[in-house]
């Protein structure tokens, strides 16, 4: 008969060990998932900025071609590049620069948003891992308490364990 309570105690201790191990593994998986997500979001942020840089370069190239074509047309028409034609080209250049800066701003804005999401993912992973550790500690302590309360060594009085 003495072997039965000890076997129950051993099984309970093994169960607690498995529970603690599973909790640690769960925490590590949460951290790994957050790290992978953070890495993906950082790459997305870099791609957003690169895409904006390319769009801006393409826009500036088209603007220079348009300005060059306008200058050539003004020259071919025999009109002097002053007064209204010059003001028109200056306004075109000003509007073009504004558009190029808006393209850059949009890319930076999307990039910063992705970087912020990456930081949030890392924080969330740390929080999930920490919560898993606390949950595992609570489960382990609760299980140990239950085992201690229910284990009654041979010859022990009735004041140990449940009544």
- CA dist 59 and 53 (Å) reads 10
Does residue 159 fall inside a structural domain?
A: no
Does residue 157 fall inside a structural domain?
A: no
Please compute the mean of the pLDDT values over residues 81-87 and round it to a whole number.
76
Per-residue pLDDT tens digits for 98-156: 999 999 899 889 888 888 888 888 888 888 888 888 888 888 888 888 877 777 665 55
pLDDT of residue 41: 86
Residue 72 above 60 pLDDT? yes
Does residue 128 fall inside a structural domain?
A: yes
Does residue 156 fall inside a structural domain?
A: no
DSSP-derived secondary structure letter, 157: -
Distances (CA, A) of 38 to 49, 65, 125: 17, 41, 9
Does residue 144 fall inside a structural domain?
A: yes
pLDDT of residue 1: 47
Helix/strand number for the chain, H first, E second:
2, 0
Does residue 155 fall inside a structural domain?
A: no
Per the structure, the complete domain to which residue 104 belongs is given by: 3-150
Count of domains observed in the chain: 1
DSSP-derived secondary structure letter, 78: T
Does residue 84 fall inside a structural domain?
A: yes
């Amino acid at each position: 008969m003495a072997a039965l309570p000890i076997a129950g105690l051993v099984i309970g201790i093994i169960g607690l060990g498995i529970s603690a191990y599973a909790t640690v593994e769960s925490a590590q998986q949460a951290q790994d998932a957050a790290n992978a997500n953070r890495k993906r979001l950082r790459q997305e942020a870099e791609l957003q900025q690169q895409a904006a840089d390319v769009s801006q370069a393409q826009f500036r190239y088209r603007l220079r071609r348009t300005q060059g074509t306008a200058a050539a047309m003004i020259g071919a028409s025999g009109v002097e590049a002053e007064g209204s034609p010059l003001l028109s080209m200056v306004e075109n250049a000003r509007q073009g620069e504004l558009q190029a800066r808006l393209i850059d701003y949009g890319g930076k804005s999307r990039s910063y948003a992705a970087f912020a999401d990456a930081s949030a993912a890392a924080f969330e992973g740390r929080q999930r891992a920490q919560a898993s550790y606390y949950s595992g500690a609570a489960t382990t302590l609760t299980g140990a308490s239950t085992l201690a309360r229910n284990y009654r060594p041979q010859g022990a009085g009735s004041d140990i364990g449940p009544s």
